[in-house]
Chains A and B, each alone.
Chain A
């Protein structure tokens, strides 16, 4: 039966009322916990996603490594000249930045298609929908694991010293993944309902790439500009890049990233409990 509502009682408000029942919060939390329990499934799916992109090519996913390598060397030589940088310092900096940026952008851009690309499965499988967010994060991690070798190669070639600071890498990666997970849930949810969100996010991420010190150094700015401090990606890149280059990560960067995680998760949990049940209808 099809009826057209003449005066639409805004469906968003209507749905929100249903979504804000306290039991929905519990369900959303259970969905995430249950999703973690199904890790064998999403780990396999994430792996297939990566393999799918490079299927039947001779080198397979190592094309990820190669294209990252080409990019780092070409841009490294070019911008090293433009900025008048010493290559032995600039190339490791650039390689680390690129690899981290790759992880972040993959999690956000992939996150936008979290639910859209899983349309068929969401409508047929009674699994917790959070598994699709885990899957996106996991395939970003797999790509990261391929890219990181470029950094290792550059670091070995230019003899980047190893220090105890390198231990900061682990918690940094962990907090980035925790942030990536809420982004994947949040942007995935938003994109499932509003289909131009992925396009908006796509162009924002592109602009942010140039606004974030990946190819340029923060020190190159005349004085620490406000827009740098307000850029969340600056802090996220910095907490991982500093230990990779053997430096101690700055307290302010870690504080910023922790705040992003707390606020991001608070907003995501709110939206996820309110609208998780609508995802199957939206896709």
Chain B
């Protein structure tokens, strides 16, 4: 029986700059008792708290969707579930073979032929060469690539590579499957075939954790969902409940703006602008001039690596609205 248990898991990343990665600076720091660090703020090691106090228990049969804004910690959580990141605090116990499908075309060798890459991908997935040879024919047939499989895959189109990667990745079902974003798989005719195979494949897997921004995909594939915000789990339950909560958390600030909070964030730099933002209602919906100005300032802060001064929530919203422009309901 496959299962995953997370108890009070926290993950934090130190953000290393070239200064903190240099041995010379470290030696000088220890020799001067850390004076350099206190003199210039940018030399401090910033710490990103990516996950905080996560408690989860996944059991056989679970189909879990991970939702949340960008930077909410979904990918980090997937990496913890896959045993790639070992948390700073807390306990993780994973039972069962795990396959993380983050980048479906990871580690393809462009100079090797299609057949060689099928075997290579199989080795990545933890299979042996002989096991892969036994499956080679079935996989080759599914890709419909025919004689192309004898050519180096640098000659392939992106869609053909995708077919190959998809066919191999779905040829062996692990106990636990971790998927980051959707799996794309080439043209329409192939998609039909692929979705059948994906269905057959996922039925054999005990636990699936899928992280995606596509609500349609999550409600189609998952029975449960987990909502993440700022590295914490803020909601868990059935897919419908959690997606509802997610929509509320995303659109909520639009209906009920928080002028005080907005204004207090950048009080000395842009007092009037903050007022305008508050009147306008949505932080990401200021006047075009205000938005441009804000973008300039943020870019400047990011370039200076002054992470702590960046209005993160707004940045996330702005970036998301680039990807999914949708009409706001007032």
**Interface residue ranges, A against B (CB under 8 Å):** 1-6, 8, 11, 14-15, 18, 38, 40-41, 44, 48, 51-52, 55-56, 120-127, 193-197, 200, 277, 280-282
Contact = CB atoms under 8 A, between A and B. Distances in A.
Interface stretch (B39-47, B56-64, B138-146, B235-243): B39-47
Given A48-B112, A55-B111, A196 B22 contact: yes
Given A41-B123, A193-B21, A194-B23, A277 B86 contact: yes
A50 B24 CA distance: 33
A126 B83 contact: yes
Interface of B: 13-14, 16, 18, 21-24, 26, 34, 37, 41, 44-49, 52, 79, 82-86, 88, 98-100, 102-103, 106-107, 109, 111-112, 119-120, 123-124, 126, 128-129, 230-231, 307-308, 310, 312
Contacts of A5: 44-47
A50 B86 CA distance: 32
Contact of B126 (A38, A124, A277): A38
Given A123-B79, A124-B84, A2 B312 contact: yes
B124 A40 contact: no
Given A5-B46, A124-B84, 16 more contacts: A2-B312, A3-B47, A3-B49, A4-B44, A5-B44, A14-B88, A41-B124, A48-B109, A120-B106, A122-B84, A123-B79, A124-B102, A125-B84, A194-B21, A280-B85, A282-B16
Contact of A195 (B18, B41, B129, B230): B18
A122 B103 CA distance: 12
For A124, A194, A195, A200, the residue with the greatest tally of chain B CB atoms inside 10 Å of its CB is: A124
Contacts of A123: 79, 84, 102
A4 B46 contact: yes
Nearest to B230: A1
Contact of B103 (A38, A124, A197, A280): A124
Contacts of A56: 111
Nearest to B72: A1
Contacts of B107: 120-121, 125
Contacts of B47: 2-5, 11
A193 B16 CA distance: 9
A203 B135 CA distance: 48
Contacts of B123: 38, 40-41, 44
B100 A126 contact: yes
27 contacts: A2-B46, A2-B49, A2-B308, A4-B41, A4-B308, A5-B45, A5-B46, A5-B47, A8-B37, A8-B44, A44-B123, A48-B111, A56-B111, A120-B106, A121-B107, A124-B84, A125-B107, A126-B83, A126-B98, A126-B100, A127-B124, A194-B22, A194-B26, A196-B22, A280-B84, A280-B85, A281-B14
Contacts of B34: 8
